[in-house]
Amino acid sequence: MFEEGQYFAPVNTDADGTVVVELGETHPGFADAEYRDRRNAIAALALEWKPGLPMPTVDYTDAEHEIWRLASAELAIKHQALASREYLDGSERLKLPADHIPQLHEVSELLEPLTGFSYMPAAGLVPLREFYGVLADGRFHATQYIRHHSVPLYTPEPDVIHEVIGHANALAAPRFAALYRAAGDAARRVHSEEALEFVSRVFWFTLEFGVISEGDGLKAYGAGICSSYGEIDEFRDMTILPLDLVTMGTIDYDITHYQDKLFDAGSMDRLEDVVGEFWENCDDDAIERLKADAA
Ligand SMILES: [Fe+2]
């Protein structure tokens, strides 16, 4: 079963309206009351937001900006060596700030002229159909909190570094942006939860954790790898499988650890031919046939 929910800390609203982010005991910020308050306040901002209102602005502290500065600088070095050409082209076009955490409206202002994508706030997990569906409209849900300062290069959940450095650099590249939109179209087209799960697993193994062979070796383009200081160093040691829809759509995986099976797209053309074409045309019946062929 696809359980992206375990990836995000649950967000609850108490009877008196207080928003509480339920961090697990192993979370680096679990015992830090100040961090917990911060997380609750940032989640509340996202929950209060409604379409049509200005994007919520987070009053980031200098300590939070410092985490961004560090992660941003370290990841930029890794990207030069290990990120795919298309991803690097996106980051060169986008020019994210390295000296401060950008607000979501700032990310949108950089991104919209390039590929039409804009960001919207998420408190935590967004239901899959909604998360993927709005990609078809060029909208991307993003959390705004940042990881705990004790581990600036690690996060157990998708924070603003993942959402912006990982995804926006890819969304700034037209060929990736078209794939994100196609995933959104597919999510809106399919009806059953099983078909939606298949679509989202293919997204997971491509736009989150995809790798691609280039002239000078295997490179990463997935946002999950490109935003993870540890994972980007290790992906070449994982089991690399050829791009295959049925395997991606049905393979078991554990999102709480580094992905040990990754799929090599081979080339951007092949990624578009196999995955783009699938998202552009799939429906419940086509997905059922694919699964039946694999059984
Ligand atoms: Fe992501």
Mean pLDDT to the nearest integer, 211-240 = 94
Question: pLDDT tier at 117 (50, 70, 90 boundaries)?
Answer: very high
Q: Is the pLDDT of residue 6 over 70?
A: no
Does pLDDT of 4 surpass 60? no
CA dist 87 to 163, 211, 240, Å?
14, 11, 20
- Residue 149 annotated in ligand binding: no
- Kindly list the distances between the CA atom of residue 43 and the CA atoms of 50, 155, 160, 236, in Å, as whole numbers in the listed order: 13, 17, 12, 35
Average pLDDT taken over every residue of the chain: 93
| Gap from CA of 16 to ligand 1 centroid (Å) | 32
Q: Which residues surround ligand 1, an ion (CB under 5 A)?
A: 223
Domains of the chain, first to last = 4-294 (1.10.800.10)
pLDDT the model gives residue 144: 97
User: pLDDT at position 293, please?
Assistant: 80
Q: Please, which pLDDT band fits residue 5 given cuts at 50, 70 and 90?
A: very low
Asked which of 79-83, 127-131, 270-274, 281-285 is least confident by mean pLDDT, the reply is: 127-131
The one catalytic residue among 72, 84, 227, 228:
227
- Annotated catalytic, 227? yes
Mean pLDDT, residues 19-34: 93
pLDDT value of position 252: 74
User: Residue 295's CB: how many other CB atoms inside 10 A?
Assistant: 7
Per-residue model confidence (pLDDT) at position 2: 34
The pLDDT, as a whole number, for residue 257 is 67
Q: Is 141 a catalytic residue?
A: no
Q: Which of 86, 162, 197, 200 is catalytic?
A: 162
208 is in an annotated binding site: yes
**Residue 228 annotated to the active site:** no
DSSP designation for 255: T
Residue 1 predicted with pLDDT over 70: no
Per-residue pLDDT reduced to its tens digit, 248-268: 998 876 666 677 899 999 999
Q: Is 167 annotated as a binding residue?
A: yes
CB 229 within 8 A of CB 220: no
C-alpha 15 to ligand 1 mean position (Å): 31
- Would you call 167 a catalytic residue per the annotation? yes
For residues 60-71, average pLDDT = 97
Q: Please tell me the distance between residue 158's alpha carbon and the centre of ligand 1 in angstroms.
A: 6
